């Protein structure tokens, strides 16, 4: 077999890269986190594997590799890969879609339980040595609204149904959800306020695109029930941060559980740190012990498909960004 060049844009010390040893011997692997590392190997490379590098780095590497045939993203989100030259090229992009769906869905249900059972109050009373009985809620019979009904959204719906919840969803093409066994209703994006008003819990699981940026703003937050809880496991900028902070401070809504933010790491002194009605995760809701290995398995499977000339898993529509 002829040599095949693979560019791995990553911290070279990442332990998960050891799994690349499973690739065929004819694959020439070049690893680096700076563009200059690929100056020699770039022109002949056929594949680029991005392990969470910055857009400017990827763009520089792209310009060094004019013969690429395929690019793969280690993560499910691909907004950091979307620069014009790549979008307009015929080079396909794949991602790790599906790898993180189950763990993110568990976080969404855990967040709903956190508020339904008022675990924060339990912990506060325990730490204070106080015995004070209070009522808690059930998820059974409540409505879970899901904004972004892809693989993550459907995983949330599956688990919500197991708790006896009603599920309504908003998706870009609602007709694609007709006959869905998990969602009781599937609505278009124009009906966002309707979903917000009906839901007891709203899980946001949208990718970040030009259309989704700021999709949930003040009007949508004001449409929520005062007892409603917002859960974001998609991308931070899909929600207008200023409006969300006001909604939480002024109690338009009961609370929020957030795994993603406009700026990460969330800077010291940020208002979200001090709000009692916020459950804050440092973008770790899907960081299970094996999450990196699971994502790498998708790439290795796709690499073998690429060698055999078979259709690749998880193709991304670069123009849409998901």
Annotated catalytic sites, by residue?
235, 264, 283
Which residues, in sequence order, are CB contacts of 31 under 8 Å at separation 6+? Answer: 8, 10, 12, 17, 37
Contact 192, 216 (CB under 8 A): yes
Q: What does DSSP say about strands 27-32 and 4-9: parallel, antiparallel, or unpaired?
A: parallel
Among the residues of 65-100, which ranges form H helices? 84-88
- Structure token pair of residue 130: 């106080």
Handedness of CA 71, 76, 81, 84 (dihedral sign): positive
| Cα(313)–Cα(298) distance, integer angstroms | 8
**SS3 state of residue 90:** coil
Q: Which segments within the chain are labelled E, that is strand?
A: 4-9, 27-32, 45-50, 70-73, 93-94, 143-147, 166-170, 185-187, 201-204, 229-232, 255-258, 278-280
Among the residues of 43-140, which ranges form H helices? 55-64, 84-88, 101-116, 119-128
- Structure token pair of residue 311: 């259709």
- Residues present in the chain in total: 322
Integer angstrom CA distances of residue 42 from 37, 51, 224, 309:
9, 17, 51, 22
256 phi and psi, to 5 degrees? -145, 150
End-to-end CA distance of the chain: 34
């Amino acid at each position: 077999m002829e040599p095949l060049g693979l560019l791995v844009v990553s911290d070279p010390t990442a332990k998960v890269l050891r799994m690349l040893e499973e690739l065929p011997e004819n694959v020439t692997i070049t690893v680096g986190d700076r563009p200059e590392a690929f100056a020699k190997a770039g022109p002949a490379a056929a594949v680029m594997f991005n392990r969470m590098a910055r857009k400017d780095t990827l763009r520089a590497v792209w310009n060094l590799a004019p013969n690429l045939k395929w690019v793969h993203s280690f993560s499910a989100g691909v907004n950091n890969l979307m620069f014009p030259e790549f979008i307009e090229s015929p080079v396909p992009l794949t991602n790790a879609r599906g790898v993180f769906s189950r763990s993110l869905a568990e976080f969404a249900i855990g967040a709903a339980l956190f508020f339904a059972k008022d675990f924060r109050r339990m912990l506060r009373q325990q730490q204070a040595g106080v015995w004070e009985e209070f009522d808690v809620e059930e998820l059974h019979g409540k409505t879970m609204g899901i904004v972004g009904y892809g693989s993550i959204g459907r995983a949330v719906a599956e688990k919500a149904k197991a708790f006896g919840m009603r599920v309504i969803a908003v998706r870009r093409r609602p007709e694609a959800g007709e006959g869905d066994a998990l969602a009781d209703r599937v609505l278009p994006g124009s009906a966002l306020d309707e979903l917000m008003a009906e839901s007891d819990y709203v899980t946001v699981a949208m990718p970040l695109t030009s259309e989704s940026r700021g999709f949930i703003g003040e009007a949508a937050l004001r449409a929520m029930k005062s007892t409603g809880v917002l859960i974001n496991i998609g991308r931070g900028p899909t929600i207008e941060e200023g409006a969300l902070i006001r909604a939480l401070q002024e109690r338009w809504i009961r609370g929020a559980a957030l795994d993603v933010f406009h700026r990460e790491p969330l800077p010291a002194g940020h208002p979200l740190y001090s709000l009692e009605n916020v459950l804050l995760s440092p973008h770790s809701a899907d960081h299970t012990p094996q999450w990196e290995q699971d994502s790498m398995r998708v790439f290795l499977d796709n690499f073998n498909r690429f060698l055999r000339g078979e259709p690749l898993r998880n193709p991304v529509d670069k123009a849409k960004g998901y």
